[in-house]
Amino acid sequence: MQNLTEFSSNATSPMRLSVIIKVCVVVPFFCIFLFCMVAMLHTFASHRQFLESTRYILFSFMLVNDSLQLLTSVLLFLFAMAQLKIIIAFCTPLLFLSIVTFQNTPLILATMSLERYTAIFHPLHRPAAWRSDRIWITILFLVLVGSIFPVVDFSISRPHPSVDVLSTLVFCKSPNLMSSPVQTLFRVSQNGLFFAVVAIVILFTYIRILLQTRSMRQGRVSAAKAMHTVLLHGFQLLLCMMAFMLPITESLIVLHHDWLPEDLNFFNYFSFILIPRFLSPLIYGLRDQGLRGYMRRAVQCCRHRVRPNATGKPHIRSF
């Protein structure tokens, strides 16, 4: 019995070390992402010109959406690493929020591209819903559209009447709650529809702005900036679509490398879920000259707020 216990302990220690390494990689990465998102949102809330711009309001909504998506994703990751079972009543909202925020991102990108399109072609006759004081109507519409399909999906997967959702413990993973072939086909179809429609919208707006840029004599600079912005939205869409690379990478890695299933899942999660979600808003935010300038000033103010005086003690500057 003692030898069996020692063998079991030696076998599980590498797995525990692997779990610790994965957690130590994901949690600091998420903290850095969250710090950047909070800094951007604080910059938006602190300056009126951002709150009066439709483009920045939509970008702020995308920051909040991606932060919620990664927050739920990291929580589910930590539950999986800890092999922790939770009740269905708590797991279902987490999965629902994760799916809704995942689908909202391409919708927001399409809306931001259309906003640039209307700003170029209809600068004086923009629809009322595109104004900064009424953009919340568009945002609510996006949330509603992004929630319809997950509601239908979860309605299909109603638990058996004998299962108590308030007491039954499960590993909080999508296959444990939504594993029927009908649901799998439904999710694949809806994701393909979402990303296809968004890709068409972005491609249409990019081509129209490109043609307009070549024919315009005045306002050529603003049209070129709008074209580059729409092109960046296309790149952000490609980053979001990297999540659909999971089956391809799994088959390629299994064929060429002898990876453990948990290591393969972590590689896919970190490479195709975390990194794209981190890069997408960061690239777009730091590319903007106005936002970058305000964030640089904020960093400089924090850096000069505390200065050592002659006695070696920090001197707090008052503003």
- Please report which residue ranges of the chain form alpha helices under DSSP H: 2-46, 48-51, 54-81, 88-121, 135-156, 174-177, 181-215, 220-241, 246-256, 261-269, 275-287, 289-305
* Residue numbers of the domain that contains 240: 2-294
pLDDT score recorded for residue 315: 42
CA distance readout (Å), 29 to 20, 64, 81, 152: 14, 17, 16, 33
Residue 68, pLDDT score: 92
**pLDDT confidence bin for 14, thresholds 50/70/90:** low
pLDDT at 229 over 80: no
Region 3-23: what's the mean pLDDT?
A: 62
Instruction: Judge whether 192 lies within some domain.
Output: yes
Residue 61 pLDDT grade (very low, low, confident, very high; cuts 50, 70, 90): very high
Helix axes 220-241, 275-287, angle to 10 degrees: 170
Q: For residue 125, tell me if it sits in a domain.
A: yes
- Determine, yes or no, domain membership for 267: yes
**256 burial level (CB within 10 Å; 0-12, 13-18, 19+):** exposed
- Report yes or no on 301 lying in a domain: no
Average pLDDT, the chain: 77
pLDDT per residue over 251-270, tens digit each? 666 555 667 777 778 887 88
The verdict on residue 316 lying in a domain is no
**Does 132 or 220 have the greater pLDDT score?**
132
Residue 116: inside a domain, yes or no?
yes
Question: Domain of 158: which CATH number?
Answer: 1.20.1070.10
Range scoring the smallest mean pLDDT among 38-42, 110-114, 129-133, 308-312: 308-312
Spatial separation of the C-alpha atoms in residues 291 and 127, rounded to whole Å? 26
Asked, for residue 310, whether it belongs to a domain, the answer is no
Residue with tokens 């009066």: 52
Residue 102 maps to a domain = yes
Mean pLDDT of 130-158: 85
Into how many domains does the chain fold? 1
The residue with greater pLDDT, 251 or 123, is: 123
Q: Is this prediction's pTM over 0.85?
A: no
